[in-house]
């Protein structure tokens, strides 16, 4: 039995729907925690400090308040992120699972304010936003 080439397979609607449901549930849960507990009162992972330090060292100029999607999607950015994320394959659960990430940290998840990212990217951005006070306004809501 031969395995079909990738270009010969079709998207599995059920799998895409499962991913979308899981990613949206994750986003909704994260926003509920931000609004109820506050960004400085919880950890997203047991290794938040390690992720934050490595992220800031590896991406010192990445703007956190409003993300530039090219910093994630250009071929050079993808290669840099891939190398960074692969270090966490055994340390971050679902390290390369697709996640939803807010573009502007002041806004909630909306169609206009959401981009696709890998789980490790989501964690690095949101840990940094939490530590640097960029998500503090959500606790006041």
Residue with tokens 């609607």: 13
CATH number of the domain residue 100 falls in: 1.10.3560.10
Report the half-sphere exposure of 32 (CA within 13 A, side-chain side). 6
E strand map for 63-138: 98-102, 114-118
Residues 118/85, Cβ–Cβ less than 8 Å = yes
Cα 53 off chain centre by: 16
Position 63 in a domain = yes
Runs of H (alpha helix) within 37-88: 48-58, 70-73, 75-86
Report the half-sphere exposure of 126 (CA within 13 A, side-chain side). 26
The reported pTM is 0.85
Position 15 in a domain = no
CA proximity to 54, closest of 2, 103, 127: 127
Tell whether the torsion through CA atoms of 20, 113, 116 and 140 is positive or negative: negative
Number of domains in the chain: 1
Position 1 in a domain = no
Residues 108/26, Cβ–Cβ less than 8 Å = no
Position 82 in a domain = yes
Predicted confidence (pLDDT) per residue in 30-59, tens digit: 888 888 887 877 899 999 999 999 999 999
Residues 105/62, Cβ–Cβ less than 8 Å = no
Enclosing domain of residue 76: 40-138
Predicted confidence (pLDDT) per residue in 59-118, tens digit: 999 999 999 999 999 999 999 999 999 999 999 988 888 899 999 999 999 999 999 999
Question: Is the confidence at residue 120, as pLDDT, over 90?
Answer: yes
């Amino acid at each position: 039995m031969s395995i079909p080439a990738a270009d010969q397979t079709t998207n599995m609607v059920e799998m895409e729907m499962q991913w979308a449901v899981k990613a949206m549930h994750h986003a909704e849960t994260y926003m509920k925690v931000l609004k109820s507990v506050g960004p400085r009162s919880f950890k997203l992972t047991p290794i938040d400090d390690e992720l934050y330090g490595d992220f800031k060292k590896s991406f010192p100029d990445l703007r956190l308040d409003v993300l530039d999607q090219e910093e994630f999607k250009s071929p050079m950015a993808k290669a840099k992120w891939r190398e960074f994320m692969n270090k966490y394959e055994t340390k971050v659960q679902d390290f390369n699972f697709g996640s939803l990430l807010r573009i502007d940290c002041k806004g909630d998840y909306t169609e206009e304010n959401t981009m696709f990212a890998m789980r490790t990217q989501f964690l690095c951005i949101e840990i940094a936003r939490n530590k640097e006070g960029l998500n503090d306004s959500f606790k006041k809501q």
